[in-house]
Structure 1
Amino acid sequence: MHDCFKQIQSYLIKKAPIFVALLLVVCAAFEIAEPAGQKQISAPKEKYVYVTKVIDGDTFWVRDGADEVKVRFIGIDAPETRNAGRKKKGHFGEEAKAYVTKLTLHKRVRLELDVQEKDRYQRLLAYVYLEDGTFLNAHLVAQGYAVMATYPPNIKYVDLFADLQQQARQAERGLWAEIF
C-alpha cells in the first residue's frame, strides 16, 4: 500500500504542472467566450471631479461631466451641521464643514471608489484626494474633524483610520479637544 501511494504521489507531482496549465487554458477560454453584449463594464475606480457644494464635513456635491453627484466620504463620520431626521446637530460640525469647504469648494478632487459604489440614499461613496495628493478622509480623522465610521464592504483603510483616530484622540485634536 505504501509503495502504491508513493507511485501515485510521484505521478501527480510530475503531471500537476500540465494539469494546472490545462485548467488555466479552459478557464481563460470560458472568459473569452462570453457572448457579445453580456460582458459587464465596471465603473472606473478613480475619477477627477469638481466640487460644487459642501454639505458638511463628510458629504459634498461634485460635477462629473454634465451630472451633479452627491458624494459621501467612505470610512469617516463628521459631526452634523444641522438637525435632520434622527441625527442631531453635532459639536464641532460647523468647524468640520468650514474646513472641508476651505480645502475642496470650487476645486478638483480625485475620487477613489471601493467595493460598494453607492449607499442606500444613492450617494456615491468615495475616498477623496485633494489635488496635492492629500488623502482627505484620513486627514480629517487625523486632525480631529471626523471619526472613523467604517461599514463593510468598504473597509480598505479601516486600520489606517483606527490608528489616526487614536493619535488624534491622544493629541486632543479637533473634536477630541472639546471632550476632555
Structure 2
Amino acid sequence: MRHHRIRIAASLAGITALATAGCATTSLDPATPAAAPSSAASNPQGGVTTGHRQRGVLTGHTEPATVTRVVDGDTIIAEAGGTQLRVRILGIDTPETVDPDQPTQCYGPEASQFAHQMLDGKTVTLRTDPVQDTADRYGRALRYVELDGTGDYSIAAARGGYAKPYVYHDNPVRKAGQIAAAAADARTAGRGLWGACPQ
C-alpha cells in the first residue's frame, strides 16, 4: 500500500509539472529573454520547420527562401521550395508606392529603397504566425521575413522609421509588441517617416 501511495504521489507530481508547463503564457515584452531563434541553418534538410519561440514569443513554421524581387517596403517575391511566393510581410505597413489607384505616399520611395538594400537577392527565412492566416484575400503569403545577422525585417523597418505597426481586423501578430516598441523608438527620435511626414 505504501509503495502504491508513493507511485500515485509521483504520478500526480508529473501531471502537475506538465500542466504547469502547458499553461505557460507567451509575452510580447521585447525584454523577455530569448530562446534560440529558428533559422534555415537549424533545419539542414531545408523545408518547413515547426514553431519556435523568439524573444519569448511563440512563432510559426519556417521555410528558407531567396528574395527574387522587392515590390515595395512591405511586399516581396520570394522563391521557396521551387515555388514563387508573393509575400505580404507581417506586422507592418509602409507608405504606398506601387498602387495605381493611389499617389506615391510620403516616405514611400525611402521605405522601398530600404527594402531593396535589406532584401534584394538575399537568402532569408520566411516564418508564419500562429494567430494569422497563411495567406490574405489577394493570395499573398503572410510571413515574417528574417535575415541572418539582422533578425526580423518588420522590426528593423519599424525601428528605422520606414514602417508603422499594422494590425488587421483587431488581431495583432505575435511580434506586435516588439514592432510597436521599435516604432515608438523611431517616433521619439523623429526617424524616417516620423520626422519627414505629417502625422
TM-score exceeds 0.5: yes
Match of 2:119 in 1: 104
Conserved? CA contact 2:66–2:80, under 8 Å: yes
Alignment deviations for residues 105-131 of structure 1 (CA, whole Å, 9 cap, x no partner): 111011110131111111111111112
Which of residues 179, 186, 197 is equivalent to 1:161? Answer: 179
Unaligned regions of 5+ residues in structure 2, if any? 1-8, 17-47, 51-60
Whole-Å separation in 1 of the counterparts to 2:67 and 2:94: 18
Match of 1:68 in 2: 84
Identity %: 30
- Spell out structure 1 runs of 4+ moving beyond 6 A: none
- Please state how far the C-alpha of 1:133 moved relative to its aligned partner: 4.1
Please give the root-mean-square deviation of Cα atoms over the aligned residues, in Å: 2.7
Check if 1:120 corresponds to 2:137: yes
Match of 2:63 in 1: 47
Which of residues 117, 125, 136 is equivalent to 2:153? Answer: 136
Alignment deviations for residues 16-70 of structure 1 (CA, whole Å, 9 cap, x no partner): 95xx89xxxxxxxxxxxxxxxxxxxx98500110000110000000011221110
Match of 1:58 in 2: 74
Larger Rg: 1 or 2?
1
Which of residues 174, 177, 180 is equivalent to 2:195? Answer: 177
Match of 1:147 in 2: 164
So what's the TM-score if we normalise by structure 2? Answer: 0.65
User: What does 1:2-13 correspond to in 2, within 5 Å?
Assistant: none
Match of 1:30 in 2: none
Check if 1:80 corresponds to 2:76: no
Whole-Å separation in 1 of the counterparts to 2:49 and 2:118: 26
SS of the residue aligned with 1:144?
Answer: coil
- Please state how far the C-alpha of 1:167 moved relative to its aligned partner: 1.1
Conserved? CA contact 2:49–2:63, under 8 Å: no
Whole-Å separation in 2 of the counterparts to 1:43 and 1:134: 17
Whole-Å separation in 2 of the counterparts to 1:159 and 1:149: 11
| One-letter identity of the residue aligned with 1:150 | V
Richer in helix (by share): 1
| One-letter identity of the residue aligned with 1:48 | P
The alignment of Structure 1 onto Structure 2 pairs a total of residues equal to: 146
User: Structure 1 residues 78 and 125 mapped into 2: Cα distance closer, same or farther (>3 Å)?
Assistant: same
Conserved? CA contact 1:62–1:68, under 8 Å: yes
- Please state how far the C-alpha of 1:143 moved relative to its aligned partner: 0.4
Unaligned regions of 5+ residues in structure 1, if any? 1-13, 22-41
So what's the TM-score if we normalise by structure 1? Answer: 0.72
| One-letter identity of the residue aligned with 2:64 | Y
Conserved? CA contact 1:46–1:110, under 8 Å: yes
